[in-house]
Amino acid sequence: MMKDGFAGGHPRPPLSTCRLLTVHRELLVEQVKNTQCILDNLQLSGFFCAEDTEIVLRSATKTEQVRKILELVQSKGEEASEYFVYILHEAYDAYIDLRPWFKEIQYEPSDSVKEIPVKNTDPISKYCKKLRHELAQDTRFITSYAQKEETLLEEFYTDTLMELLSEKNESLGYLDSLDELLGLQGVFNEHAETIFIVGDAGVGKSILLQQLQNMWSRRELPSAEAKLFFKFRCRMFSAFKEMYEISLRDLLFKHNCYPDGDLDDEVFGYILRHPETVLFTFDGYDEIHADFELENLPEVVSPEEKAHPLMLLTNLLSGKLLKGSRKILTARTGTELQSRVIRKKVFLKGFSPENLRRYTALHFHERDYQELVMVQLDANPHLCSLCSIPLFCWIIFKSFKHLRSMYDDFELPDTFVTLTSVFLLLCEVFLGHCSGPGLLKRSTRCPADTFRGGALTLAGFAKLAQLGMEKGGFVFSQDEVSSCGITADDLQLGFLRPVSHYDSCGNPATFEFLHITLQSFLSAFSLVLDESIAPGEILKFFTECEYQKAPHFQLCGSCLASSKPQGKDPFQTNEHLQFANLFLCGLLSKSNAGLLEHLVPLSSLKKKRMVLKSYLAKCVKSHLKGLPRHPTDTEGCKVQVMPNFLWMLRCIFETRSDDVARVTARGISADNIKLTYCNMSSADCSALNFVLHHHHKLLGVDMDNNNISDYGVKQLRLSFSKMTVVRLCVNQITDCSIEVLAEELIKHKVVKVLGLYKNCITDVGAKLIAQIIEECPHLMTLKLGCNKITSVGGKYLANAIKKSKSIFDVGMWGNTIGDEGAGAFAEALKNHPKLTNLSLSANGITSVGGRRLAAALKENVSLHIFWLVQNELTDDAATDLAEALKINSGLRCLWLIDNRFTVQGARVLAEALPYNTSLKEICMKGNQLSEEEQKLFEMETRLRFS
Ligand SMILES: Nc1ncnc2c1ncn2[C@@H]1O[C@H](COP(=O)(O)OP(=O)(O)OP(=O)(O)O)[C@@H](O)[C@H]1O
C-alpha cells in the first residue's frame, strides 16, 4: 500500500500498485539495473511462466527488459504488480538505488504480499551481504586494555568535535553528526575524491572510522552513499617487501573480503563499472614506513596491472585508479597530503564538554558514582583537558574504576596530573592484574608495591617497546615477544593486543601495543630502568628527531604529501618519538622520584635527570633565540613561535622543573608571542601557564586558531595578570571563559587587546565584556565578530564603549545586534574621543538603524573606518548618510558592500561627496545596481577622490 501524500490539504486516496508503476515508470526504468533477480522471483512464485521470461530476455538492453517486465506485471494485475515492487524492496542491495524512492512513496508491503518469499539472486548483493556481515563482526567491540573486558562500540561510542577546514586550514564550522561526513558540506575541491581526517594521537580517528563502518554494516549510512565498503589500515601497505606486487583485485578480495562461489569476476567487473558505489577507509596514513624509495617504482593506473601495494594506495587516493570511488583517509595532525587530492578536510578535536559529560555517563551507570566523577572533573579543568582526548579519558576512567573497586578512598588524579602520571596509573592497573583479582578491598593503596612486584614484567614490556622504537616497528612477532621474557600470562595483562587482520589462518601471530603512545611510554621507561644505558644515551630520541628524516615524509615526498623541509630541530618530527621524550621528562621528574626509586638506584635517576634538564634548557634557549622577530608600531616586538615550541612546553611541564621553566620564561624576550595555528589544546594551556608563571614582564599572547576551549582558559587564569594582548579567536570559547577573563582582566587592568572573534559568546558574555571595557583603562582593540551577540548584548557593549576613553578598534562582524543594537552604537559614536575603526557588518541592520548611525556621524570626528557590509540598508538610509557625509570630517573609508541600495541611493551619496573633504573610499559593490550603474558610480567616486 502506498501513501501518496496530500493534495490541497486533503488526503488523496492510495494509488493502486498498477497505477503507481505507470506514474513512476521512467524512474524505475532508469534505476533498476538487475533484471535477473526479478525474473527469478517472478518465475519462482508463479507470476511468470518460462515464456514470459523468454519474452523479456529477448530485449537487448536492460532498460528495454525493465519496460517489458513492467508491461507484463501490469497486464497480470494488481497482485503481480504488488509482488514486483515487493521484490525491489526485499532484495535490498540489488536495488539499493531505489531506497530514496521507497521512502518518498512511504512504502509498506501488504500482509498478503509479505507471505510470498523473495530470494536475492543478485551476485553483488550476496557480496554486499558478506561485506556487511564481516564489518559488523569486526567493528562490534572497542578493543579495550584487558582482552576479557571487551567493550561494545555501541555502548561507548560518543561523538567528538569534527571541524571542517578549508584548503588553507581555516575553520569552516563543525559537522553535526557523522552521517554528514560524506555529504557536500565543507567540500573545497569537488574533483578530488579523498576525505582527509586529521587529529592528534588518541583523539578517536580509528574509532570514528569504526563507527562509520559499523553504521554501514547496519545500513545506517545513507544507502546511496556506498554499496561496497572496504576498510584498510595504511600500515599494511608498507608491510610488504619492495618487490612484492599485487593487483587491485587481490587487494580487495584477498586482503579484505573474498566473494563466495565463482563470483569474483562478476563482482570485480561491477566494481570497475560502478566505482562510485565503492567507499574505502584507510586508517593511519602517518603509520606508513617504507624502507625504499617509491620514486623507483612504476606508476600504476590500470586495474588489471600488478604493482606494489603502496602504489595501489597512492593511485587510489589520487583517483588515478578506480576513479570515482570515495576514500576516507585518516592521519595524525601535521601529516601532509597534497591538497589536489583532498576533497574536504576534517579536524578531529576530541570531546567537547557536552560530549565528555555523555561519555562519563556511559562509563559510570550508578548515579552517585557518576556525580562523584563529574564533581571531581568540574573542580579540575586540567584533568578535563586531558579527558577531552578520548584515549586519555578512557585510561583515566578505566583506571579510576579499577582502583576504586579495590580502594574505597581512591580519587581521580589531582590538579597536578601529567600525562606521565596517567600512564603510570594505567601500568599500575595492568601490573595489579599480576597479583590476581583480590576478593577483598584493600585498605591502603601502595603503587610502589605494585610496581616492585611487577618490575620484571614491566622491564620485559619496556624492552620490547624499546626494540620497536629502534627498528621503527609497531608490530611484534611471537619470537620477539618471547625474547623479551614476556610470558603467555603477561600477554593477558593488557599491554599488548593481538593484531588480527590479514592473517589467513585466523591466528593472532603478531602483537602490537594497546596504543602507540603506550609503546612510547614504555620505551621511555626502558631508558630510565635500564642501568646499562648511560645518562647521555637517554637523549637518543631527542637526537634521533634531530637527524632522522621521517619515513612517511620520504614516502609522501614522492607521492602525495607536499614535501616538507627537514629541520634539525629535535622537536620537529615523529610524534611517537616526541611522546617518548615527553614521558622521559615525566618519569625523571622529581614528583615521580618517590615511585621510581623503588625500581632504579637513586644515583642513576639523579644523573639522568641532570642530563635531561641541562639538555632541555640548552634546547629551549637556542630555539627562542633563533625565532624571527617583527617590530610593530602598536604592540612592540612580536615573535611567532613554531608549532614544535609546544612540544618543548609539554616536556617542560612534565619535568615540573622550575629551573627549566625559568630559563624558558627568560628566553621569551619579545613583547608579544604568537602561538597561532599551533594546534594548541586546552591541556597545553597548563604547560604555557607553568612557564609564564616565571615570566615577570608584561606580555602579549596571541593564541588565535587553536583548540583551547573553556578548559584551557581556566588553566591560563593566573597568566592573565600579565597579558597585555589576549587573543583567543576561533577557540570554541563560551561565556564560562568570559567569566574568568572578566574577573582576571578587571583585577589586573593591563589588557590592551582582546580578541575573541569566532567563538560561542552570547549576550551573557557580552555583558561581562562590557564590564571589561569599562574597567580596563588601556583596552584599545576588541574583536567580537562571529559570536552569538544580539541586540541585548549589543547595547551593553555600546554603552560601555561610549564611556571608554581608550578603545579605538571594535569588530562586531557577524553578530545579530539589529537596529536596536545599531541605535546603541549610534549613541556611542556621538562625540566619541577615540573610536577610529568600527565594523557592524552582517548584523541585520536595516535603514532604521542606518539612519540613527548616520545621524550620529554628524556628531563624530574620531571614526576613520566604518564597515556596514552585508546589512539590509536601503535607499531610505541614503539621504541621511549623504547628509552626514556633508558634515562629517573624520571618516576616510565607508563600506556599504552587499546592502540593498539602488542607483537612486548611490546617486544621492555620490552627490554628497563634493562636500566632504576627508573621505578617501566609499564602496557599494553587491548592491542593487546594474553593472553599468556600478561602474558609473565607481568612476564618479574615483574622480572625486583623485
Ligand atoms: N568517539 C569515541 N567514543 C568513545 N571512545 C573513544 C572515541 N574515540 C576514541 N575513543 C577511545 O580512545 C581510544 C583511542 O582512539 P583511537 O584509536 O581511535 O585514536 P586515534 O586518533 O586513531 O589515535 P592514533 O592516531 O594514535 O592512532 C579508543 O580505543 C577508545 O577507547
Write the DSSP assignment of 783-841 as a string of letters: E--SS--BHHHHHHHHHHHHH-SS--EEE-TT-B-HHHHHHHHHHHHTT-SS--EEE--
Ligand 1 pocket test target in 139, 198, 207 with most atoms within 8 Å of CB: 207
Q: Which residue's alpha carbon is at the smallest distance from atom 4 of ligand 1?
A: 157
pLDDT of residue 6: 34
More confident residue, 345 or 573: 345
* Of the candidate ranges 383-387, 414-418, 491-495, 812-816, the one whose mean pLDDT is the lowest: 414-418
All cell numbers assigned to 722? 600579565
Model ipTM value:
0.99
| For residue 440, pLDDT beyond 80 | no
| pLDDT in the model for residue 145 | 53
Q: What is the DSSP string of 311-331?
A: HHHHHHHHTSSSTT-EEEEEE
The pLDDT score that the predictor gives to residue 831 is 94
Q: Give the CA-trace dihedral at 565, 568, 571, 577, to 10 degrees.
A: 90
Q: Distance from the CA of 239 to the center of ligand 1, in angstroms?
A: 23
d(CA 282, CA 911): 63
Q: Looking at this protein, which amino acid is placed at residue 554?
A: Q
Residues having CB closer than 6 A to ligand 1 are 142, 156-158, 160, 199, 201-207, 284, 332, 390-391, 394, 516
Q: Which of 30-39, 131-140, 192-201, 506-515 has the least mean pLDDT? A: 506-515
What's the first-to-final CA gap in the chain, in angstroms? 75
Calculate how far, in angstroms, residue 390's C-alpha sits from the geometric centre of ligand 1.
6
pLDDT at 7 over 70: no
Burial class (CB in 10 A: 0-12, 13-18, 19+), 546: middle
Confidence band for 650, pLDDT divided at 50, 70 and 90: very high
| Range of lowest pLDDT (97-106, 597-606, 902-911) | 97-106
Q: Residue 432 is placed in which grid cell?
A: 595489579
Instruction: Quote the cell numbers at residue 8.
Output: 490541497
pLDDT of 475 higher than 60: yes
Q: What is the DSSP annotation of 355-381? A: HHHHHHHHH--SHHHHHHHHHHHHT-H
Q: Could you tell me which of 108, 151, 122 has the C-alpha nearest to residue 37? A: 122
**Greater confidence, 1 or 933?**
933
* CA–CA distance, 197 with 337 (Å, rounded to integer): 11
> Partners of 233 in the beta sheet?
283
Q: Determine the average pLDDT of the residues in 721-727.
A: 96
Name the pLDDT band for 752 (thresholds 50, 70, 90): very high
Between 760 and 640, whose confidence is greater?
760
Cα of 387 from ligand 1 centre, angstroms: 12
What backbone torsions phi and psi does residue 690 show, to the nearest 5 degrees?
-60, -40
- Helix (H), strand (E) at residue 619: helix 602-625
- Residue 103, number of CB atoms within 10 A of its CB: 10
What HEC string does 688-703 produce? HHHHHCCCCCCEEEEC
- Ligand 1 center–CA 206 separation, angstroms: 6
55 alpha carbon – ligand 1 mean position (Å): 57
Non-local (6+) Cβ contacts of 191 within 8 A are none
Q: What does the pLDDT read at residue 435? A: 60
Question: Residue of the nearest CA to atom 15 in ligand 1?
Answer: 204
The yes-or-no verdict on residue 783 having pLDDT over 60 is yes
What would the grid cell of residue 810 be?
A: 571594535
The predicted model gives 472-482 an average pLDDT of: 85
The confidence score (pLDDT) of residue 666 equals: 87
Give phi and psi for 653, each to the nearest 5: -60, -40
List the beta bridge partners of residue 437.
Answer: none
Read off the pLDDT of residues 443-459 as tens digits, 9 standing for 90 and up. Answer: 666 788 888 888 999 99
596 neighbors 529 (Cβ within 8 angstroms): no
pLDDT band (50, 70, 90) for residue 836: very high
- Report CA(381)–ligand 1 centroid distance (Å): 21
Identity at 528, one-letter amino acid code: V
The predicted structure's pLDDT at residue 845: 97
Q: Whose CA is nearest to atom 6 of ligand 1?
A: 390
Output the pLDDT for position 645.
Answer: 86
What lies within 8 Å, CB to CB, of 869 at 6+ separation is: 813, 839, 841, 842, 895, 896, 897, 898, 899
Of 212-216, 590-594, 775-779, the one with minimum mean pLDDT is 590-594
**Ligand 1 atom closest to 208 (CA):** 1
Could you tell me the pTM of the whole model?
Answer: 0.84
pLDDT tops 60 at residue 8: no
- pLDDT tens string 881-896: 999 999 999 999 999 9
pLDDT score, position 612: 93
Neighbour tally for 844: CB within 10 Å: 17
Average pLDDT, integer, range 86-94: 86
pLDDT of 556 reads 35
Average pLDDT of 190-206?
A: 94
**C-alpha cell of residue 861:** 570626528
* pLDDT value of position 564: 39
Q: What is the rounded average pLDDT for all residues in the chain?
A: 86
pLDDT in tens, 296-313: 556 667 888 888 888 889
DSSP string, 832-882: -SS--EEE--SS--BHHHHHHHHHHHTT-SS--EEE--SSB--GGGHHHHH
Cα–Cα distances in Å, from 299 out to 304, 559, 712, 890? Answer: 13, 10, 47, 64
Q: What number of residues does the chain have?
A: 946
The torsion region of residue 481 among left (phi > 0), alpha (psi -120 to 50) and beta comes to: alpha
Rounded to an integer, the average pLDDT of 898-924 is 93
- For residue 241, count other CB atoms closer than 10 A to its CB: 9
Q: How many helices (H) and strands (E) does the chain have?
A: 42, 26
Q: Are 796 and 763 in contact (CB under 8 A)?
A: yes
Question: Which residue's CA is the closest to the ligand 1 atom numbered 13?
Answer: 391
At residue 481 the predicted structure's pLDDT band, cuts being 50, 70 and 90, is very high
pLDDT digits (tens, 9 = 90+) for 382-423: 889 999 999 999 999 988 888 877 777 777 777 568 899 999
Residue 717 has pLDDT above 50, yes or no: yes
